Structure 1
């Protein structure tokens, strides 16, 4: 029996309600996604309050532990973004303006992010090499009594370390790790360590990659139809920020002017902690940027400071060492040994996270391209 007009009207109302419920769920999911991002960034912005006075907090901004938390947060955000925005999405949504422009722009950023991930993995290899040099010095200076042989071995390792840390970024990595500066008789550079050579063209620049990623990162305007524009802009912003922060801290090829290459919109709640973090890192960059800075990583800076002090001790070494001086050196060696331990454990884990980040970006790109491929098939005329 055909439905009456009343029945038809009732079914239409049910359909509208169901669509409305689905829309409300989608809006709620997108709002929750933005809130979760804001919460994770806020946790990164506020350091723990239970750190003993006088000690650097374990998760101080720009420390290895902090970067591990940053990548954990990003991977969580990326998984949620993929679930809420990409998976099961009606391809027609991506054909509407401005998503038809924002999605390809985001995909272009992910390609550049993959290059940066490769650069970061090589930078971590270099950091692990520095850690090994510092460990040689630690093992030598822990000997009792400290003899001239121990001091000579430690001094050689520390001079190699300091030479590598302070060498000009651009010249160092553009020449496969070879220094163009003339080392002193006590300085050896990382020179022929081919494993640390960067697999990029001489013209490749981490700074220019960041600049290209952020150049068209503009805040969305009101009135967009799908509700997906803000989440896409959010994910692009977080991606650019994470890459920028890693390049600022970890040795990378050519980073001139990096501090000026990131512009983030201020109109969203999730942007506030990210801008706060950017300001803190930017202040450090401006304060410590000079020829030869090999990144703002907390452990690198502490290692360099201790290394210089221990080289001063080595250059003025007289056997036997005075008791007071021996205690002072033992304290510095103990601190350097602790940094070495933190670097060895933390950098291996960070290396794995960067690889996971690379693979995750590749998979998300593939999922997004699948949706766009569906859209192309739907819009391509069928030949008769």
Structure 2
């Protein structure tokens, strides 16, 4: 869906809720309108993830599943879902409506998941820093091999860079003892951040707590994630559950795609409600991502980001070329290498164009989570004060 159409649809939806909440309606009319808004919110969530699922086809014009461009679409859709969720649950409501059962239990659970997502955002942002270092190694190889004729000196430089690239890609941080206490979050940089980020081979856990695990964090976020039943399934409990599910799925996807500290066991599916139609495209995406994860887990490769998988394949092939290189090389082999170097250069360009905006989106998700949690805490605090007996 084009961004302009998506924005217009969301603006129309948010505006509609705002108008309705300000209208004086009968109780029956208000209930009917709210049910319609809840259904529309569910439909929008389903449609957004259907678009993401349909873009994973073999159509070369589409963004490949787990590519940088696809992840950016995922985060755009997540932010849209989050904005509509707050409108449905909070806009124009009295605090007492949000604090009463079952939301008095479900909302704190969502707010706890938001807190856990902050560490995920930090870890993913650090993983993106590592991807930038890998990109630089690939660029060194491209510069060395994009020569005519290719000599032994260029091949040696390319092999050194590619060997470092492949080695870095298979260095999963399975030993959390390498890490140090977390010293950075978005908006703050420690004094030695710049120097530490320069090392392409350093453990990605350098700013995360020693015992922190991205897989355990995801599993903690997905615990107690149960679909509302009975009368609750048609009330405000439903959008809270939907938003919790979307949050967990998006964080799970980011950790799968981008190298993060300790992802052992991440391939286990996050429980999604098969009986609810809005979740069907999410389940389809989860199955595809889990399949990719299982393939790469056997090789110990960092993440299933599409660009990284291509770098791994090209790096291994070009190292084989370098190992058997003799000057002058065969014309046929040189033509094959030229095509691979062009593909490697194309990947580098995509990473150069996409990694920084992706990191900025992660930063936006981080700040949005903080802001949303703060807004709900204020409403719950107001409800508590109103409910307290006057003295």
Tell me the TM-score normalized by structure 1: 0.87
* Residue number in structure 2 paired with 1:361: 369
Q: 2-side partners of 1:225 and 1:33: how far apart?
A: 14
Residues 111 and 373 of structure 2 are in contact (CA less than 8 Å); yes or no, is this contact kept in structure 1? yes
SS at match of 1:135: helix
Q: 2-side partners of 1:225 and 1:192: how far apart?
A: 49
* Pick aligned residue for 1:245 from 235, 244, 253: 253
Q: 2-side partners of 1:86 and 1:318: how far apart?
A: 69
Tell me whether 1:227 sits opposite 2:235 in the alignment: yes
Tell me whether 1:76 sits opposite 2:84 in the alignment: no
Aligned CA-pair RMSD: 2.2
Q: Deviations over 1:66-104 (max 9, x none)?
A: 111110100110011111112332222233322111000
Q: 2-side partners of 1:363 and 1:168: how far apart?
A: 33
Unpaired runs of 5+ in structure 2?
1-22, 181-197
Q: 2-side partners of 1:230 and 1:290: how far apart?
A: 38
Tell me whether 1:62 sits opposite 2:66 in the alignment: yes
* Residue number in structure 2 paired with 1:10: none
CA 1:380–1:102 in structure 2 vs 1: closer, same or farther (change >3 Å)?
same
How far did residue 31 of structure 1 move?
Answer: 1.3
Q: 2-side partners of 1:113 and 1:103: how far apart?
A: 15
* Residue number in structure 1 paired with 2:220: 212
Q: 2-side partners of 1:197 and 1:224: how far apart?
A: 41
* Residue number in structure 1 paired with 2:5: none
CA 1:47–1:329 in structure 2 vs 1: closer, same or farther (change >3 Å)?
same
* Residue number in structure 2 paired with 1:165: 169
Unpaired runs of 5+ in structure 1?
1-14, 178-189
Aligned residue-pair number: 352
Residues 18-27 or 109-118, more deviating: 18-27
CA 1:237–1:50 in structure 2 vs 1: closer, same or farther (change >3 Å)?
closer
* Residue number in structure 1 paired with 2:331: 323
* Residue number in structure 2 paired with 1:110: 114
* Pick aligned residue for 1:276 from 270, 284, 287: 284
Q: 1-side partners of 2:129 and 2:24: how far apart?
A: 58
Residues 176 and 194 of structure 1 are in contact (CA less than 8 Å); yes or no, is this contact kept in structure 2? no
* Pick aligned residue for 2:152 from 129, 148, 153: 148
* Pick aligned residue for 2:140 from 114, 136, 139: 136
4+ residue runs of structure 1 moved beyond 4 angstroms? 190-197
* Residue number in structure 2 paired with 1:33: 41
How far did residue 145 of structure 1 move?
Answer: 1.4
* Residue number in structure 1 paired with 2:104: 100
Larger Rg: 1
* Pick aligned residue for 1:125 from 123, 129, 145: 129
Residues 26-35 or 283-292, more deviating: 283-292
Residues 272 and 283 of structure 2 are in contact (CA less than 8 Å); yes or no, is this contact kept in structure 1? yes
Residues 179 and 210 of structure 2 are in contact (CA less than 8 Å); yes or no, is this contact kept in structure 1? no
Q: 1-side partners of 2:353 and 2:203: how far apart?
A: 20
Residues 116 and 243 of structure 1 are in contact (CA less than 8 Å); yes or no, is this contact kept in structure 2? yes
Q: 2-side partners of 1:58 and 1:165: how far apart?
A: 26
* Pick aligned residue for 1:200 from 204, 208, 211: 208
Residues 163 and 319 of structure 2 are in contact (CA less than 8 Å); yes or no, is this contact kept in structure 1? yes
Tell me the TM-score normalized by structure 2: 0.85
SS at match of 1:270: helix
Residues 221-230 or 72-81, more deviating: 221-230
